[in-house]
């Protein structure tokens, strides 16, 4: 991978042969935006911590509740 980026810019290349934490999280949640390499990480984590998928789902539910609460408190609809 040979791409130069300036401070604050986003790289334009995604390497599907390397796992990405965002795609791994998506795989834990049963999403569709991940690659086999990301699902391999999920399987490895689940061997060490079988409850990992439940934790990811609970984390997402908390984020949704927190955002709804904050939106309600600030009047955002």
- Top-confidence residue, 71 or 8: 71
The tens digit of pLDDT for each residue in 42-77 reads 999 999 999 999 999 999 999 999 999 999 999 998
Q: Does the residue 16 lie in any domain?
A: no
Q: Is 8 among the domain residues? A: no
Residue 47 falls inside a structural domain: yes
What is d(CA 14, CA 3) in angstroms, rounded to the nearest whole number?
11
10 located within any domain: no
Q: Would 68 be classed as within a structural domain?
A: yes
Average pLDDT over residues 8-33: 92
Domain span at residue 29 reads 21-74
**Number of domains the chain is built from:** 1
User: Could you tell me if residue 7 is inside a domain?
Assistant: no
Asked if residue 2 belongs to a domain, the reply is no
Nearest to 68, CA basis, from 77, 56, 55: 77
């Amino acid at each position: 991978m040979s791409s130069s980026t300036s401070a604050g810019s986003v790289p334009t290349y995604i390497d599907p042969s390397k796992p990405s934490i965002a795609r791994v999280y998506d795989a834990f949640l049963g999403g569709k935006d991940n690659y086999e390499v990301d699902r391999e990480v999920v399987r490895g984590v689940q061997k060490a911590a079988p409850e990992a998928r439940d934790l990811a789902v609970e984390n997402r539910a908390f984020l949704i509740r927190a955002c709804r609460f904050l939106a309600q408190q600030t009047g955002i609809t």
